A and B are shown apart, each in its own frame.
Chain A
Amino acid sequence: MAGTIRAQYPPTIRPIRINCTGRVTPSLMIRAISKGADGIIIAG
Chain B
Amino acid sequence: MLQAARTEGLNIYTYSELDSLKGFVGNFDAKIRRKARYVTKDCNGCGACEPVCPAISWNDFNEGLNPRSAIYTAFAQAVPSIAQIDMEKCIKCGLCQKACELNAIDFDQKDIIQNIRVGTIIVATGWDEYKPPIGYLGYNTYPNVITQMKLERILAPNGPTFGHIVRPSDGKRPKRILFIQCVGSRDLNKNTYCSSGVCCMISIKNTKLIKQHYPDSEITVAYVDIRAAGKDYEEYFTASRKEGIRYVRTNVSRIEENPENHNLIIKMQNTLRDSLGLQEKEFELIVLSCAMIPPIGIKKIQRLLKLETSRDGFFKEFHPRLNPIDTKIPGIILAGVSQSPKSIADSITSGRAAASSAARLMSKDKYRIALIRAKVNKDKCAKCGLCELNCPYNAINLLDDGADVNEILCRGCGTCLANCPSEAIILRYYKENQYEKQIDAILEKT
Residue ranges of A at the interface with B (Cβ–Cβ < 8 Å): 14, 16, 18-20, 22-25, 27-28, 31-32, 35-37
Interface centre among B413, B418, B419, B440 (most CB of A within 10 A): B418
Assess whether B439 is in contact with A31, with CB atoms less than 8 Å apart.
yes
Can you spell out 24 A-B residue pairs with CB atoms less than 8 angstroms apart? Answer: A14-B442, A16-B435, A16-B439, A19-B413, A19-B414, A19-B430, A20-B413, A20-B415, A22-B392, A22-B413, A22-B414, A22-B418, A23-B413, A23-B415, A23-B418, A23-B427, A23-B430, A25-B432, A31-B436, A31-B439, A32-B443, A35-B440, A36-B443, A37-B442
For window 363-398 of B, CB contacts with A under 8 Å fall at 372, 390, 392
Q: Beta-carbon contacts of B394-420 to A below 8 Å, as 1s and 0s?
A: 000000000000000000111101110
Assess whether A19 is in contact with B440, with CB atoms less than 8 Å apart.
no
Assess whether B439 is in contact with A35, with CB atoms less than 8 Å apart.
yes
Is B438's beta carbon under 8 Å from chain A? yes
Assess whether A19 is in contact with B412, with CB atoms less than 8 Å apart.
yes
Pick the contact of B439: A19, A20, A28 (CB < 8 A): A28
Assess whether B430 is in contact with A37, with CB atoms less than 8 Å apart.
no
Cα–Cα distance between A32 and B392 once the two chains are bound (Å): 27
Interface centre among B412, B415, B417, B435 (most CB of A within 10 A): B435
Given A19-B427, A23-B418, A37 and B436 contact (CB-CB distance below 8 Å): no
Assess whether A19 is in contact with B372, with CB atoms less than 8 Å apart.
yes
Given A19-B412, A36-B443, A25 and B418 contact (CB-CB distance below 8 Å): yes
How many Å from the CB of B438 to the closest CB on chain A? 5
Residues of A near B390 (CB, < 8 A) are: 22
Residues of A near B432 (CB, < 8 A) are: 25, 27-28
Cα–Cα distance between A39 and B418 once the two chains are bound (Å): 20
Pick the contact of B438: A16, A23, A36 (CB < 8 A): A16
Cα–Cα distance between A19 and B370 once the two chains are bound (Å): 13
> Considering only CB atoms and an 8 Å cut-off, how many residues of chain B contact the other chain?
21
Residue of A nearest to B445 (CB): A36
Assess whether B413 is in contact with A35, with CB atoms less than 8 Å apart.
no
Query: B interface, by DSSP: helix, strand, loop or mixed?
Result: helix
How many Å from the CB of A32 to the closest CB on chain B? 5
Residues of B near A24 (CB, < 8 A) are: 418
Pick the contact of B443: A18, A25, A35 (CB < 8 A): A35
Residues of A near B392 (CB, < 8 A) are: 22
Cα–Cα distance between A36 and B441 once the two chains are bound (Å): 12
Residues of A near B419 (CB, < 8 A) are: 22
How many Å from the CB of B441 to the closest CB on chain A? 9
How many Å from the CB of A30 to the closest CB on chain B? 10
Residues of A near B417 (CB, < 8 A) are: 23, 25
Cα–Cα distance between A40 and B442 once the two chains are bound (Å): 13
Residue of B nearest to A20 (CB): B413
Given A14-B442, A32-B443, A22 and B415 contact (CB-CB distance below 8 Å): yes
Residues of A near B442 (CB, < 8 A) are: 14, 16, 37
Other A-B contacts than A19-B412, A22-B419, 12 sampled, CB-CB below 8 A, are: A22-B414, A22-B415, A22-B418, A23-B427, A23-B430, A28-B435, A31-B439, A32-B439, A35-B439, A35-B443, A36-B443, A37-B439
Please provide the 5 A-B residue pairs with the shortest distance between their CB atoms, ordered closest to farther: A23-B414, A22-B415, A20-B413, A35-B443, A14-B442
Cα–Cα distance between A3 and B443 once the two chains are bound (Å): 23
Cα–Cα distance between A34 and B418 once the two chains are bound (Å): 19
Assess whether A18 is in contact with B436, with CB atoms less than 8 Å apart.
no
Pick the contact of A20: B414, B440, B445 (CB < 8 A): B414
Cα–Cα distance between A7 and B392 once the two chains are bound (Å): 32
Cα–Cα distance between A28 and B419 once the two chains are bound (Å): 13
